[in-house]
Homo-oligomer: A and B are copies of this chain.
Amino acid sequence: MKTISENRCFGGVQGVYTHPSAATGTDMTFGLFLPAEAENGAVPVLWYLSGLTCTHENAMVKSGAQRWAAEQGIALVFPDTSPRGEGVANDSAFDLGQGAGFYVNATQDPWALNFQMWDYVTEELPRLLFNAFPLEEGAQAITGHSMGGHGALTIAMSFPGRFASVSAFAPICEPTRSDWGRKQFTAYLGSDETLWAGHDSTHLMRRFGFDGPMLIDQGTSDQFLDLLRPEALAAAMTERRQGGIVRMQKGYDHSYFFVSTFMEDHVDFHAQALRG
């Protein structure tokens, strides 16, 4: 693992690191914020999964999350959203290929070789982080934005007991019925739709739910509302009697101005769950 940068930030350290990944077969870069408390022992950790086109950097510089994580003594992990590089498959569309891993393990050519983001985010990166940094493996929470909200929700429901809480900003809620999902699942997973269900939050909610608190924020002026389908997840949550909060935020759009506005609430929400 190589240190790309370390900057003091809200009394802690915002680091950026690169490492060779067995899952993706490429070098992968991630951001990690460690609060001051990490100097004296392991701290809880909040995963932040980013959306389409993002790298590890977007939320790290735009969301303002470090302020609230520092206040709560919580670490933040910012993984990249896909493998990258010249030898890695790509597409000219912004919503397929590099920057659009969709948090799945691709089985179809040409994607299967490198696009193993599910394994990367749920297995390889956690193992590396808990070995290398003072992070409590028993105190994890997860959040994300848009495609990353989809990732956070599907991962949280697929690993019962791993995450104390899950939240999402404008998540893709029902990718199997959205152009943000059908296109990518066809490319990465093939046309057999039964194999998609494990990557659809609404489906997972109906089937399993989440054994902890949930928080969803969605702007009412989001330019991608039709693709996100929050109504599907909200219906599934209420039908299941899932404990959780869905907030429709009047006038907010899909941007980081929306994410940063509600970041304090999300970090505080997770901190409360992590304190148990």
A162 to chain B, nearest CB (A): 29
The 8 A CB mask of A6-21 against B (1 = contact, 0 = none) is 0111110010000000
Residues of B within 8 A of A61 (CB): 61-62, 256
Q: Say yes or no: A8 contacts B260, CB within 8 Å.
A: no
Q: Say yes or no: B221 contacts A255, CB within 8 Å.
A: no
Residues of B within 8 A of A255 (CB): 7
Q: Which DSSP category, helix, strand, loop or mixed, fits chain A's interface?
A: mixed
A58 to chain B, nearest CB (A): 10
How long is the Cα–Cα vector from A208 to B87 in the complex, in angstroms? 61
Residues of B within 8 A of A256 (CB): 61
Q: Which listed residue, B64, B258, B261, touches A260 by the CB 8 Å rule?
A: B64
Residues of B within 8 A of A41 (CB): none
Q: Say yes or no: B9 contacts A260, CB within 8 Å.
A: yes
Given the known A-B contacts A252-B8, A255-B7, are A66 and B219 also in contact in the complex, defined by CB atoms under 8 Å?
no
* Interface residues of A, count at CB 8 A: 23
How long is the Cα–Cα vector from A176 to B14 in the complex, in angstroms? 34
Q: Is A251 an interface residue (CB 8 A)?
A: yes
Q: Is A229 an interface residue (CB 8 A)?
A: no
Q: Say yes or no: B66 contacts A251, CB within 8 Å.
A: no
Residues of B within 8 A of A67 (CB): 64, 67, 260-261, 264
A253 to chain B, nearest CB (A): 6
Q: Say yes or no: A257 contacts B62, CB within 8 Å.
A: no
Given the known A-B contacts A61-B62, A62-B62, are A7 and B257 also in contact in the complex, defined by CB atoms under 8 Å?
yes
Residues of B within 8 A of A260 (CB): 9-10, 64, 66-67
Nearest 3 CB-CB pairings of A with B: A9-B257, A7-B257, A64-B64
Residues of A at the B interface (CB closer than 8 Å) are: 7-11, 14, 61-62, 64, 66-67, 219, 221, 251-253, 255-258, 260-261, 264
A-B contact pairs, 7 of them (CB 8 A): A8-B251, A8-B252, A9-B261, A61-B256, A64-B64, A64-B67, A66-B260
